Structure 1
């Protein structure tokens, strides 16, 4: 009987040992799981962090959008002011010409020669203002007719070649390279044979 008890005892020992091993393995797995759970945040923590980051990004986006709107509004205001006050410098230069004209009209005992001198001085002031702002005179006498710069008012028989400007009825003006008023001209035509 002792022999039959021996395998049972060994079996119980093995079960005991394997149970201890299972307990050790389970305990070990539990420790690893606990340390892993400590190292990796829970889903709730991840969600809170993601929500915080999303809120920060949303706030940054709102600020950037507001800044862009402010820049757009400022640019529109600057453009409107530029259109509205574009001729401010030119206007202030013309004030001296206006002052000269008013001074000439205010003189009570003026002679014809004084008026002529005053008009000549005023004309010089106006020419100086035009030069300062790149306003150039178009005076094309003797030049070939150019429809981009001239406006033909009439055609006259002339010794000059056909399509040549014979007379300027009203001078034209350029602002830099843009025509602000074409010159009104008489143009030569071929003589009738």
Structure 2
């Protein structure tokens, strides 16, 4: 080993000034590029998820509409049969139409919207639509005296409110 003179500088592992800054800058630029790439991929994946969800919702709606329509087909078939027999016997046609009405009400009930029986119940603006008032001897004021048009659905999911005539006090 040779001795170093006073003018010689000992070698170090440090890079010349400015080289570290450039390497750090390149490393940071690489990290930024990686993060941007990950961000773009995540954004594209999110967009694909949104599109897939929208397609699934649309497909589900179409399937539900088809199921509801299929539930009504027997009702339509029976109405056609009733019309075919309309000229032969009017009493049997009336019977047939009543049966079809019962079938239609049954389809609504199967879909979760049963026909409401509101006669005599206390008037409730959340489930009833008042179309008139009447005084009748023996009726309790504030109750449904007559149902003009039936309502459908349970109290928490009204498909259509019942149109009713409400009992009042004598004037």
Fold match, TM over 0.5? yes
For 1:167, the equivalent position in structure 2 comes to 146
Count of aligned pairs between the two proteins: 165
Partner of 2:5: 23
Normalised to the residue count of structure 1, the TM-score between the two structures is: 0.69
Aligned to 1:87, the other structure's residue is in SS state helix
Return 5+ residue gaps in structure 1 as ranges.
1-19
- Aligned ranges for residues 1-193 of structure 1 at < 5 Å? 21-23=3-5, 26=8, 29-30=10-11, 33=12, 36-37=13-14, 42-43=19-20, 44-79=22-57, 87-107=65-85, 110-158=88-136, 159-174=138-153, 177-192=156-171
* Contact 1:136–1:176 (Cα < 8 Å) also in 2: no
- The whole-number CA distance in structure 2 between the counterparts of 1:55 and 1:103 is 72
In structure 2, do the counterparts of structure 1 residues 113 and 47 end up closer, same or farther at CA, with 3 Å as the change threshold? Answer: same
Shift of 1:152: 2.1
Whole-angstrom CA distance in 2 between matches of 1:65 and 1:86: 32
Higher strand share: 1
**CA displacement at 1:124 relative to structure 2:** 3.3
Residue aligned with 1:173, SS:
coil
Instruction: Pick the structure with greater CA Rg.
Output: 1
Q: Report how far residue 21 of structure 1 moved.
A: 4.6
| Superposed displacement of residue 84, structure 1 | 6.5
For residues 187 and 119 of structure 1, the distance between their equivalents in structure 2, rounded to whole angstroms, comes to 30
Q: Given the superposition, is the C-alpha separation of residues 157 and 53 from structure 1 closer, same or farther in structure 2, using an over 3 Å criterion?
A: closer
SS at match of 2:132: strand
Q: CA RMSD in A?
A: 3.0
Listed as ranges, the gaps of 5+ residues in structure 2 are none
Aligned partners of 2:127 and 2:161 also within 8 Å: yes
Q: For 2:5, what is the secondary structure of its paired residue? A: helix
Seen in structure 2, the aligned counterparts of structure 1 residues 145 and 82 have a Cα distance that, compared at 3 Å, is: same
2:134 and 2:168 in contact (8 A); partners too: yes
8 Å contact kept, 2:133–2:165 = yes
Q: 1:147 to 1:51 in 2, by over 3 A?
A: closer
SS at match of 1:57: helix
Cα deviation, residue 133, structure 1: 0.8
